[in-house]
């Protein structure tokens, strides 16, 4: 029997195929589109999602059934001593809190639910960290404790290409949306822990957004992510985007490489649950601190 099984959800951006390659399970996130339920990366592809979204379909997210999640726990516990489950941030969905309550009530010491306050590429990095720790022989409890300890050591900055979906979700007023549309505003939002929040609302071009996000990540690296001994090379860098066109994302990767030539920069689509609230054309940069060696 193996010690630890790793489980995450599709908000991490890890596909079912990638999950198989990594040796982990991925819970598909459910979406309701015009009254019909879909499962991310099973019955809902990226292409189909954006086609529905741009055609003004009524798209909403929901949390996975706790019954489905616990069935996966039971299945994994047949061949593993413990399960480490890494869902999306509790600040963005109640699914994490539901899983935590269920684990404490029925799986104490067997299932460890990590509320690591992350989503998309930073959540993905947490999963990769968990796999690395598992391969080093760490048990589930120790992996859980470390991921909880370092959970705030990451940030995502996201440039939004259209205000349409922020208005639709009530994050900005119709008046602000109208003015922003006339001025061609492309605001920059951030996820630093609990929720999607405002960062720089008056940005107007994609190129300027790239510069702002890059400089802010550099500042984070040199301040809150710096080691006590002054070391700043202990980071992961990621780029993410919404929509099916990754041209701007790949150009952004090259721009970042000019500042960080020795780093491998991950480039992935934003999770659909984020894209649902911000629409297509978004561009993001994330930085997260590497786990201790």
Is the pLDDT reported for residue 170 higher than 50?
A: no
Q: Is residue 191 within 8 Å of 158, Cβ to Cβ?
A: yes
Mean pLDDT for 25-38 is 95
Pick from 88, 62, 83, 60: nearest CA to 73:
83
Among the residue ranges 45-49, 125-129, 171-175, 235-239, the one predicted with the least confidence is: 171-175
pLDDT at 231: 86
**3-state percent helix, strand, coil for the chain, nearest multiple of 5:** 40, 25, 35
pLDDT at 168: 53
Spell out where the chain has E strands.
2-9, 25-27, 30-33, 36-39, 59-61, 80-86, 111-113, 154-159, 188-191, 196-200, 235-241, 265-269, 283-289
Distance in Å from the first CA to the final CA of the chain: 27
Conformation bin of residue 4: beta by default, left when phi > 0, alpha when psi is -120 to 50: beta
Is the pLDDT reported for residue 80 higher than 50?
A: yes
User: Phi, psi at residue 118, to the nearest 5°?
Assistant: -130, 165
Pick from 291, 287, 246, 236: nearest CA to 268:
246
Pick from 198, 101, 216, 231: nearest CA to 155:
216
Mean pLDDT for 72-80 is 97
pLDDT at 186: 82
- In degrees, rounded to 5, the angle at the alpha carbon of residue 154 between the alpha carbons of residues 151 and 160 is 130
% of the chain exceeding 90 in pLDDT? 65
pLDDT at 117: 85
pLDDT at 164: 62
pLDDT at 50: 93
d(C-alpha 213, C-alpha 199), whole Å: 10
- Two tokens at 124? 């993905």
Mean pLDDT for 40-48 is 94
Mean pLDDT for 190-216 is 80
d(C-alpha 13, C-alpha 125), whole Å: 10
pLDDT at 211: 95
Helix intervals (H) in 136-246: 140-149, 164-168, 174-182, 206-222
Is the pLDDT reported for residue 31 higher than 60?
A: yes
- Two tokens at 16? 């079912």
- In degrees, rounded to 5, the angle at the alpha carbon of residue 43 between the alpha carbons of residues 40 and 44 is 50
In the block, residue with structure tokens 């029925």: 106
Among the residue ranges 9-13, 98-102, 186-190, 286-290, the one predicted with the least confidence is: 186-190
- Two tokens at 172? 């900005």
CA dihedral (265, 189, 193, 50) positive or negative: negative
- In degrees, rounded to 5, the angle at the alpha carbon of residue 18 between the alpha carbons of residues 189 and 190 is 5
pLDDT at 48: 94
* 157 CB burial (10 A radius; 0-12, 13-18, 19+): buried
pLDDT greater at residue 165 or residue 92: 92
Q: Is residue 182 within 8 Å of 200, Cβ to Cβ?
A: no
Pick from 130, 145, 151, 115: nearest CA to 23:
130
Q: Classify strands 235-241 and 265-269 as parallel, antiparallel or unpaired.
A: parallel
pLDDT at 192: 73
Query: pLDDT grade, residue 15 (50/70/90)?
Result: very high
Instruction: Render pLDDT for 252-290 as a digit per residue (tens, 0 to 9).
Output: 999 999 999 999 999 999 889 888 888 889 999 999 999
pLDDT at 22: 97
pLDDT at 172: 39
């Amino acid at each position: 029997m193996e010690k630890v099984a790793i489980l995450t959800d599709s908000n991490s951006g890890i596909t079912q195929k990638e999950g198989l390659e990594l040796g982990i399970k991925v819970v598909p996130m459910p979406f309701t589109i015009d009254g019909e339920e879909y499962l991310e990366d099973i019955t809902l592809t990226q292409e189909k999602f954006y086609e529905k979204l741009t055609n003004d379909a009524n798209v909403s997210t929901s949390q996975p059934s706790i019954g489905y999640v616990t069935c996966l726990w039971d299945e994994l516990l047949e061949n593993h001593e413990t399960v480490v489950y890494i869902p999306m941030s509790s600040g963005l969905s109640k699914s994490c809190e539901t899983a935590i309550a269920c684990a404490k009530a029925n799986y104490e010491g067997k299932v460890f639910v990590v509320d690591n306050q992350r989503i998309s590429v930073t959540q993905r990095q947490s999963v990769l960290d968990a796999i690395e720790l598992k391969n080093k022989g760490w048990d589930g409890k120790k992996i859980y404790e470390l991921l909880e300890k370092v959970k705030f050591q990451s940030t995502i900055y996201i440039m939004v290409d259209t205000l349409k979906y922020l208005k639709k979700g009530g994050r900005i007023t119709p008046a602000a949306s109208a003015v922003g549309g006339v001025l061609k505003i492309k605001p920059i939002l951030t996820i630093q822990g609990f929720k999607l929040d405002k960062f720089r609302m008056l940005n107007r071009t994609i190129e300027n957004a790239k510069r702002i996000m890059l400089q802010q990540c550099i500042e984070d690296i040199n301040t809150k992510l710096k080691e006590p001994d002054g070391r700043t090379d202990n980071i992961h860098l990621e780029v993410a985007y919404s929509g099916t066109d990754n041209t701007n994302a790949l150009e952004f990767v090259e721009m970042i490489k000019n500042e960080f030539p020795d780093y491998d920069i991950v480039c992935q689509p934003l999770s659909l649950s984020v894209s649902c609230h911000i629409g297509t054309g978004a561009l993001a940069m994330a930085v997260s601190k590497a786990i201790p060696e």
